[in-house]
C-alpha cells in the first residue's frame, strides 16, 4: 500500500491537516478542502476512493473524496451525526486529521471509449464527482457524457456551480427535484422514473449510480429494464467503517470488506455477494 | 529434535529465568477468573500457588496480542501533537493449550495479511514466544478441536511444546523454532532442564468426545443456505449479550473510539461484537443487519465461510468456550453439523 499516507507509518494514525476551504453546498452539505499542516497534499486518490477524516476529541469517519488539486483533497459531507455536526461548525484554518486513501476505485481505464451515464441522488453525487472530473480532464478518451441528478428540492442540489454553469458546457445535464417549487422550471420527479423517461440507449454505454439505498435499488431495476448489462452498471456501497484497513471486521458483506474491496462494484459483482446491503 | 525434561519442581526457576528479560503471561486464578495474567517475580517463584495449569482458561489468551482496550495514539487538544504508546518488549505466553495456539494463526491472518499490517499487533507478535501445553486430559465435554483440524497434542504454531509425563511430575519439552531455541539456551544456563530417561514418557493424548462432522465444502453449503429459515430459529434465543465473541480466542472485531483525558484525546481500540444491535448501524440510521437473525448469521458465516474464503482457514478452533458459556444454548457445533447435512 505504498500510496497510503498516515502518521508515523501507522495506518491507523492520521496525518495532521488543516481546512483551507469550506463551501456551503446545501443547508446540510458542506465541501471541505483539506491540506497537510505543512502545505502539502495528503495523498493522491484515484476516482472513487475514500478518506478517513477525524476531529481530535470527537471521532473519525469515512467519506468519499470528491475532488483533488495539486496540494489539496476535497470531501463533500452531509450533516448526519456527531462528527459531521462538529465538522459543519469548523472554520478555515482548523486542524483536521486525515488518513487514506482507502478502497478500490472506479474503473476509469476500463470505461475508456464508452459513453457514460452518471446517475446520482442527493449527496450521492459526491462519490461520482471525482470520476466526472477525471473524465472531463481526459475527455478525448471517453464518448458522450450524461449526468442525471436529483434531490428533494432545489436547495438540496449539491455542486450547483458544476450543475448549472461548468458542466452544461461540457456534458449533458438532466436535473430533477422531487416536488414542484416556485422558481424551478426544470424537471420534477424521482430519479429512477426520470431515468426511464429519458430512455438512454445501453449501446456502448456504462452507467455509474450513487445515491440513497432506495434510489439505487429502483435505478438499478430501471437500468436493467432499459437493457443495460450488469457488467456495465457500476455503483458504490456504503457500510459502517471503523479502521478502513480491513482489520476491524465492521464493513463486511460476505467475505468482502467494503473498505478494501469496495466501495465500487459492478452490478454483476454485487450479485455474487450475499443480500445484506 | 531432542526432547528435554522440565521437572515441575523446577517450574519456579524456569519462569524466573524467563522473567529476566521477558514479560511472562501464564494462567492464574480459577473458574470465571481463570485467565492469562502477567506474572510478577514473586508469582513466578511461588508457581505452585499462582500459576494454574489445570484446564482451559475461561478467558482466552488473545488479549496478550489484542488487548481488550488499548490506546492507538493520543493527540494534544491544544497543540495537536501526536503521541503513540511505547512498544512492548519480548513476551512469553506459558502454558497455552493447542486450540488457543492455533487461534493465533487466525489472528495473524486478519492483522497481518491482505494489504495492511496492523502496527500494534505486528510489534507484539514479533516479540512473542509461545510455550504450548498439550492436553493430557480432555478439558471439557465441549472441546472439539480434533474436528477442526487441530488436536489435544497439536504443536501447530508453538515455539515450545510441553507434554506432561505419565507420572505427572514433569514435562517433556520440545523446542520447535528459533524463538524456542533461544529459550532453550536460557533454560540451559539456568540449569532447569534435565535429560529424560526411558521412564519419562507421555501417555497417548485424549480424544475429543464431541465429534463434529465438518465437510470440506462447508463454506459453499452454508452460503447456499443464506436464506434458510433455520437462521431465524437459531437466533431466537440469542440475547445479543456478546459473551460468545468476548471469550472466543479467534474473534477479532474491534471498535475505535475517542476518550478525552488531561488535555489529550486518546484514540482507543476496544473489543467489539458483531452480535451487538448497534454494530453495523450507520450514522444515518440504516442498518444492513437490523435483527439478531442477520447478526447471528453473519457471525457464523464469518467463522465458517467468509474467513475461509478470504484466508483459507476456519475462524473456529473448537475450543468449546462459546458452547459452554452461551446463556441461551446457541451452539456452533450444531451449526456446523446442520451445515454438513445441507
Ligand atoms: S449466541 Fe449466546 S453468547 Fe453469543 S450473543 Fe447470543 S446469547 Fe450471547
Ligand atoms: S467459535 Fe466457540 S468453539 Fe470456536 S474458537 Fe470461538 S469460542 Fe471456541
Ligand atoms: S472498516 Fe474495518 S474492516 Fe473495513
Please state whether beta strands A67-68 and A145-151 pair in parallel, antiparallel, or not at all (unpaired). unpaired
Whether A162 and A213 share a structural domain: yes
Question: Phi, psi at residue A204, to the nearest 5°?
Answer: 50, 35
Q: What is the pLDDT of residue A161?
A: 94
Q: At residue B259, does pLDDT exceed 50?
A: yes
> pLDDT class for A1, splitting at 50, 70, 90?
very low
C-alpha cell at A256: 468482502
Q: Which of A270, A189, A236, A230 has its CA nearest to residue A65?
A: A236
DSSP characters for A92-122?
TT-EEEEEEEES----TTTTTTSEEEEEEEG
Cis (ω within 30 of 0) for the bond into B217? no
Whether B38 and B173 share a structural domain: yes
Cis (ω within 30 of 0) for the bond into B204? no
User: Residue A10: closest CA among chain B residues belongs to which residue?
Assistant: B119
Asked, for residue B213, whether it belongs to a domain, the answer is: no
Whether A95 and A199 share a structural domain: no
pLDDT in tens, B172-227: 999 999 999 999 999 999 999 999 888 888 889 889 989 998 888 999 999 999 89
Query: Kind and range of the H or E element at A129?
Result: helix A125-137
Domain boundary pick from A43, A77, A102: A102
Whether A51 and A95 share a structural domain: yes
Question: Would you call A84 an interface residue with chain B, using a CB distance cutoff of 8 Å?
Answer: yes
Asked, for residue B199, whether it belongs to a domain, the answer is: no
User: How many domains, in total, are found in chain B?
Assistant: 2
Residues 281-310 of B with CB under 8 A from A: 281-284, 286, 288-289, 294, 298, 301-302, 305-307, 309-310
Whether A229 and A128 share a structural domain: yes
> pLDDT class for B46, splitting at 50, 70, 90?
confident
Residue ranges making up the domain that contains A63: 15-102
Q: Which ligand is nearest to the CA of B274?
A: 1
Distance CA(B248)–CA(A165), nearest Å, equals 57
pLDDT in tens, B162-180: 999 999 999 999 999 999 9
Asked, for residue B231, whether it belongs to a domain, the answer is: yes
Whether B234 and B93 share a structural domain: no
Q: Which ligand is nearest to the CA of A259?
A: 3
Whether residue B73 and residue A97 make contact (CB cut-off 8 A), yes or no, is no
Q: Which residue has the cell 512473542?
A: B128
Whether residue A252 and residue B73 make contact (CB cut-off 8 A), yes or no, is no
Tell me what the pLDDT averaged over chain A comes to. 93
Domain boundary pick from B194, B210, B240: B194
Q: A234-246 burial, b for 16+ CB within 10 Å, e for fewer?
A: bbbbbbbbbbbbb
What is the nearest CA distance from A49 to chain B, expressed in angstroms? 16
Whether A205 and A147 share a structural domain: yes
Distance CA(A144)–CA(B62), nearest Å, equals 55
Whether B44 and B150 share a structural domain: yes
Question: Which of B258, B270, B281 is the best mutation test for A, with the most CBs of A within 10 A?
Answer: B258
Asked, for residue B185, whether it belongs to a domain, the answer is: yes
- Give CA angle at A141 (A135, A144), nearest 5°: 70
Whether A161 and A220 share a structural domain: yes
User: Residue A1: closest CA among chain B residues belongs to which residue?
Assistant: B115
3-state secondary structure of A85: helix
Q: At residue A25, does pLDDT exceed 80?
A: yes
Question: Would you call B267 an interface residue with chain A, using a CB distance cutoff of 8 Å?
Answer: yes
Question: Phi, psi at residue A267, to the nearest 5°?
Answer: -60, -35
Q: Which of A101, A39, A33, A17 has its CA nearest to residue A64?
A: A101
Q: What separation in Å is there between the alpha carbon of B93 and the centre of ligand 1? A: 28
Q: What is the pTM of this model?
A: 0.90
Residue ranges making up the domain that contains B281: 218-341
Whether A126 and A78 share a structural domain: no
Residues with Cβ within 8 Å of residue A59, at least 6 apart in sequence: A82, A83, B257, B258
Whether A122 and A232 share a structural domain: yes
User: How many domains, in total, are found in chain A?
Assistant: 2
Residue pairs spanning A and B at CB distance below 8 A: 127
Chain A residues in contact with B77 (beta carbon < 8 A): 56-57
Kindly state the average pLDDT of the residues A174-195.
94
Whether residue B75 and residue A56 make contact (CB cut-off 8 A), yes or no, is yes
Question: Which of A58, A63, A248, A253 is the best mutation test for B, with the most CBs of B within 10 A?
Answer: A248
How many helices (H) and strands (E) are present in chain B, helices listed first?
Answer: 14, 12
Whether A137 and A195 share a structural domain: yes
pLDDT in tens, A216-250: 989 999 999 999 999 999 999 877 788 999 999 88
Asked, for residue A269, whether it belongs to a domain, the answer is: no
Whether B282 and B180 share a structural domain: no
Asked, for residue A208, whether it belongs to a domain, the answer is: yes
Whether residue B256 and residue A80 make contact (CB cut-off 8 A), yes or no, is no
Q: Which of B336, B324, B287 has its CA nearest to residue B58?
A: B324
Ligand 3 contact, A248 CB (< 6 A): yes
Whether residue B80 and residue A37 make contact (CB cut-off 8 A), yes or no, is yes
DSSP code at position A58: T
pLDDT in tens, B129-143: 999 999 998 888 999
Chain B residues in contact with A216 (beta carbon < 8 A): none
Number of residues that make up chain B: 342
Q: Report yes or no: B203 and B13 within 8 Å, Cβ to Cβ.
A: no
Kindly state the average pLDDT of the residues A55-65.
93
Return the CATH number at A69. 2.40.30.10
Asked, for residue A44, whether it belongs to a domain, the answer is: yes
More confident residue, A82 or A7: A82
Q: Which ligand is nearest to the CA of B326?
A: 1
What residue owns the CA closest to ligand 2's atom 5?
B316
Domain boundary pick from A236, A251, A269: A236
Q: Report yes or no: B180 and B129 within 8 Å, Cβ to Cβ.
A: yes
Whether B83 and B174 share a structural domain: yes
**Which of B72, B226, B307 has its CB closest to that of A274?**
B226
Q: What is the pLDDT of residue B48?
A: 60
Distances (CA, A) of A230 to A135, A207, A222, A266, A268: 21, 10, 12, 7, 5
Asked, for residue B200, whether it belongs to a domain, the answer is: no
**Which of B115, B284, B305 has its CB closest to that of A260?**
B115
Whether B15 and B140 share a structural domain: yes
Asked, for residue B237, whether it belongs to a domain, the answer is: yes
Whether A125 and A190 share a structural domain: yes
User: Residue B79: closest CA among chain A residues belongs to which residue?
Assistant: A95
- Percent of chain B residues topping a pLDDT of 90: 67
Q: Is B77 left (phi over 0), alpha (psi -120 to 50) or beta?
A: alpha
Domain boundary pick from B161, B194, B227: B194
Whether B62 and B178 share a structural domain: yes
Ligand 3 contact, A241 CB (< 6 A): yes
pLDDT in tens, B262-288: 889 999 999 988 877 777 777 666 777
Asked, for residue A274, whether it belongs to a domain, the answer is: no
Whether A137 and A192 share a structural domain: yes
Asked, for residue A134, whether it belongs to a domain, the answer is: yes
Whether B272 and B335 share a structural domain: yes
Ligand 3 contact, A52 CB (< 6 A): no
Whether B190 and B222 share a structural domain: no
Whether B172 and B98 share a structural domain: yes
Whether A73 and A154 share a structural domain: no
Domain boundary pick from B194, B209, B239: B194
**ipTM of the complex as predicted:** 0.86
Residues 77-116 of B with CB under 8 A from A: 77, 80, 82, 84, 110-111, 114-116
Whether B165 and B294 share a structural domain: no
Q: What is the pLDDT of residue A2?
A: 41
Which atom of ligand 3 has the smallest separation from the CA of A62?
1
Asked, for residue B210, whether it belongs to a domain, the answer is: no
Return the CATH number at A119. 3.40.50.80
DSSP characters for B33-65?
G-EEEEPPHHHHHTHHHHB--SS--SS-THHHH
Asked, for residue B208, whether it belongs to a domain, the answer is: no
Whether B154 and B280 share a structural domain: no
How many helices (H) and strands (E) are present in chain A, helices listed first?
Answer: 7, 16
Distance CA(A49)–CA(A262), nearest Å, equals 9
Amino acid at each position: 500500500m505504498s500510496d497510503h499516507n498516515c502518521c508515523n507509518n501507522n495506518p491507523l494514525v492520521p496525518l495532521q491537516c488543516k481546512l483551507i476551504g469550506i463551501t456551503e453546498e446545501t443547508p446540510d452539505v458542506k465541501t471541505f478542502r483539506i491540506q497537510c499542516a505543512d502545505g502539502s497534499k495528503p495523498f493522491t486518490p484515484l476516482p472513487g476512493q475514500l478518506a478517513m477524516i477525524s476531529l481530535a476529541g470527537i471521532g473519525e469517519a469515512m467519506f468519499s473524496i470528491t475532488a483533488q488539486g495539486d496540494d489539496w483533497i476535497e470531501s463533500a459531507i452531509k450533516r448526519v451525526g456527531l462528527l459531521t455536526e462538529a465538522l459543519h461548525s469548523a472554520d478555515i484554518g482548523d486542524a483536521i486529521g486525515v488518513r487514506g486513501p482507502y478502497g478500490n476505485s472506479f474503473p476509469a481505464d476500463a470505461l475508456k471509449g464508452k459513453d457514460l451515464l452518471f446517475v446520482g441522488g442527493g449527496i450521492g453525487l459526491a462519490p461520482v464527482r471525482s470520476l466526472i472530473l477525471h473524465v472531463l480532464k481526459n475527455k478525448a478518451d471517453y464518448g458522450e457524457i450524461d449526468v442525471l441528478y436529483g434531490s428533494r428540492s432545489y436547495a438540496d442540489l449539491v455542486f450547483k456551480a458544476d450543475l448549472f454553469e461548468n458542466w452544461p458546457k461540457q456534458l449533458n445535464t438532466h436535473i430533477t427535484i422531487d416536488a414542484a417549487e416556485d422558481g424551478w422550471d426544470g424537471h420534477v420527479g424521482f430519479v429512477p422514473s426520470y431515468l426511464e423517461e429519458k430512455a438512454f440507449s445501453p449501446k456502448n454505454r456504462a452507467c455509474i449510480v450513487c445515491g440513497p439505498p432506495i434510489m439505487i435499488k429502483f435505478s438499478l431495476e430501471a437500468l436493467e429494464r432499459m437493457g443495460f448489462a450488469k457488467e456495465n452498471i457500476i455503483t458504490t456501497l456504503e457500510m459502517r467503517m471503523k479502521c478502513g484497513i480491513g482489520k476491524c471486521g465492521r464493513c463486511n458483506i460476505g467475505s468482502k470488506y467494503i473498505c478494501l474491496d469496495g466501495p465500487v462494484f459492478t452490478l454483476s459483482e454485487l450479485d455474487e455477494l450475499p443480500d445484506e446491503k | 529434535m531432542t526432547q528435554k525434561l522440565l521437572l515441575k519442581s523446577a517450574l519456579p526457576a524456569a519462569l524466573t529465568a524467563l522473567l529476566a528479560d521477558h514479560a511472562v503471561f501464564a494462567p492464574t486464578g480459577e473458574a470465571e477468573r481463570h485467565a492469562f495474567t502477567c506474572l510478577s517475580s514473586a508469582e513466578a517463584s511461588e508457581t505452585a500457588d499462582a500459576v494454574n495449569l489445570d484446564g482451559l482458561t475461561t478467558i482466552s489468551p488473545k488479549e496478550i496480542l489484542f488487548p481488550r482496550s488499548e490506546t492507538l495514539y493520543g493527540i494534544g487538544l491544544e497543540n495537536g501533537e501526536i503521541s503513540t504508546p511505547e512498544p512492548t518488549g519480548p513476551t512469553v505466553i506459558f502454558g497455552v493449550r493447542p486450540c488457543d495456539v492455533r487461534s493465533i494463526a487466525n489472528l495473524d491472518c486478519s492483522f497481518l495479511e491482505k494489504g495492511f499490517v496492523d502496527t500494534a499487533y505486528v510489534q507484539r507478535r514479533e516479540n512473542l514466544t509461545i510455550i504450548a501445553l498439550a492436553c493430557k486430559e480432555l478439558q471439557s465435554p465441549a472441546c472439539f478441536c480434533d474436528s477442526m483440524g487441530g488436536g489435544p497434542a497439536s504443536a501447530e504454531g508453538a515455539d515450545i511444546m510441553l507434554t506432561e509425563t505419565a507420572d505427572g511430575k514433569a514435562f517433556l519439552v520440545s523446542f520447535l523454532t528459533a524463538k524456542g531455541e533461544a529459550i532453550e539456551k536460557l533454560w540451559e544456563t539456568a540449569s532447569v532442564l534435565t535429560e529424560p530417561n526411558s521412564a519419562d514418557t507421555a501417555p497417548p493424548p485424549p480424544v475429543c468426545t464431541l465429534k463434529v462432522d465438518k465437510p470440506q465444502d462447508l463454506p459453499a453449503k452454508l452460503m447456499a443456505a443464506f436464506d434458510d429459515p433455520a437462521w431465524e430459529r437459531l437466533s431466537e434465543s440469542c440475547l445479543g449479550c456478546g459473551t460468545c465473541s468476548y471469550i472466543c480466542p479467534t474473534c477479532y472485531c474491534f471498535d475505535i473510539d475517542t476518550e478525552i483525558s488531561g488535555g489529550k484525546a486518546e484514540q482507543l481500540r476496544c473489543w467489539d461484537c458483531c452480535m451487538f444491535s448497534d454494530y453495523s448501524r450507520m450514522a444515518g440510521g440504516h442498518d444492513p443487519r437490523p435483527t439478531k437473525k442477520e447478526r447471528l448469521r453473519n457471525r457464523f458465516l464469518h467463522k465458517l465461510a467468509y474467513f475461509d474464503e478470504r484466508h483459507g482457514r476456519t475462524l473456529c478452533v473448537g475450543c468449546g468456550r462459546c458452547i459452554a458459556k452461551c446463556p441461551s444454548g446457541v451452539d456452533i457445533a450444531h451449526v456446523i453439523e446442520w451445515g454438513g447435512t445441507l
